[in-house]
């Protein structure tokens, strides 16, 4: 069975990467492209694959009603992603979401919508398989090393901080450890924010610079030793295997899958 796919945020750098990947995958059919900056130009021409007779529209709900995709892949904005998910689920289109900025409270709301409309969804803070493994390894290390800090580095256009990957990594570390990581030393910041943000004792530092794509390292400290676990995405194609896998898996799953690790059965 061919899976019909719409891409929301199709004019963005990640959106165009997804468009090219979906178009090249025999099991998938690109049927719609949506973007707030859409001008009805052909998404194939914009994405560099040649004309595909699919215009870039601006109204997600109307486009989903007309094209009736099985799945909508969303790489948009933290400001609009929850409304996009609500729209997709209400029309019984399965969302596969890579947009960050989604909180634990948001996940619970998405679970409610998924149950209400009996439509599954995949929400992934990071679609890179290497990044998912990095988070898993960090959770394991958190059981044995007493303190850790996270540094996440992204391109200058990323507006939310810290990244969804950093937040989920910290949550997984805290869950694995079973308690907040200690910070016994009283600190004095000479410049506000110099120590980054803190999630139950795990300091998270966000870097935004041109030339970066998506990078994260978790630094653990123990008696006389440190351990650094790092992942780097140098190109947005690193996310594509996880996106394609999620599109196929969401057709067979129920409820909300939060995190690619739950599809990889890690």
> Looking at the annotation, which residues are catalytic?
154, 158
- Torsions phi, psi for 206 (to 5 deg): -115, 130
Per-residue tokens: 54: 């699919």
CA distances from 99 to 42, 123, 135, 247 (A): 23, 8, 18, 15
Centre a 10 Å sphere on the Cβ of residue 205 and count the other Cβ atoms it contains.
18
Cα–Cα distance between 83 and 110 in angstroms, integer?
10
Rg (CA), the chain: 19
- 1: Cβ–Cβ under 8 A, 6 or more apart, which residues? none
Asked if 49 and 19 count as a contact pair (C-beta separation under 8 A), the reply is yes
Asked if 169 and 150 count as a contact pair (C-beta separation under 8 A), the reply is yes
Cα–Cα distance between 248 and 60 in angstroms, integer?
21
Cα–Cα distance between 110 and 121 in angstroms, integer?
8
Q: What SS3 class is residue 212?
A: coil
Q: Provide the 8-state DSSP code for 38.
A: -
């Amino acid at each position: 069975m061919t899976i019909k796919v719409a891409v929301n945020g199709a004019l963005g750098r990640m959106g165009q990467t997804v468009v090219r990947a979906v178009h090249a995958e025999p099991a998938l059919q690109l049927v719609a492209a949506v973007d707030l900056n859409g001008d009805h130009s052909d998404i194939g021409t914009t994405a560099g694959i040649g004309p595909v007779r699919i215009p870039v529209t601006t109204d997600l709900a109307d486009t989903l009603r007309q094209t009736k995709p099985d799945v909508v892949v969303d790489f948009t904005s933290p400001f609009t992603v929850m409304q996009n998910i609500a729209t997709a689920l209400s029309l019984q289109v399965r969302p596969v979401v890579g947009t960050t900025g989604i909180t634990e409270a948001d996940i619970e709301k998405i679970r409610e919508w998924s149950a209400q409309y009996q439509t599954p969804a995949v929400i992934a803070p990071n679609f890179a398989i290497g990044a998912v493994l990095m988070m898993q390894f960090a959770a394991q290390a958190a059981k044995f090393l007493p303190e850790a800090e996270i540094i996440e580095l992204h391109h200058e256009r990323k507006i939310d901080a810290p990244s969804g990957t950093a937040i989920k990594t910290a949550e997984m570390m805290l869950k694995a450890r079973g308690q907040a990581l200690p910070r016994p030393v009283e600190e004095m910041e000479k410049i506000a924010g110099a120590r980054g943000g803190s999630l139950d004792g795990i300091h998270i530092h966000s870097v935004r610079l041109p030339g970066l794509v998506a990078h994260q390292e978790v630094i653990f400290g123990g008696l006389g030793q440190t351990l650094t676990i790092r992942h780097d995405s140098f190109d947005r194609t690193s996310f594509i295997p996880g996106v394609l896998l999620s599109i196929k898996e969401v057709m067979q799953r129920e409820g909300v899958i939060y995190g690619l690790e739950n599809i990889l059965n890690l």
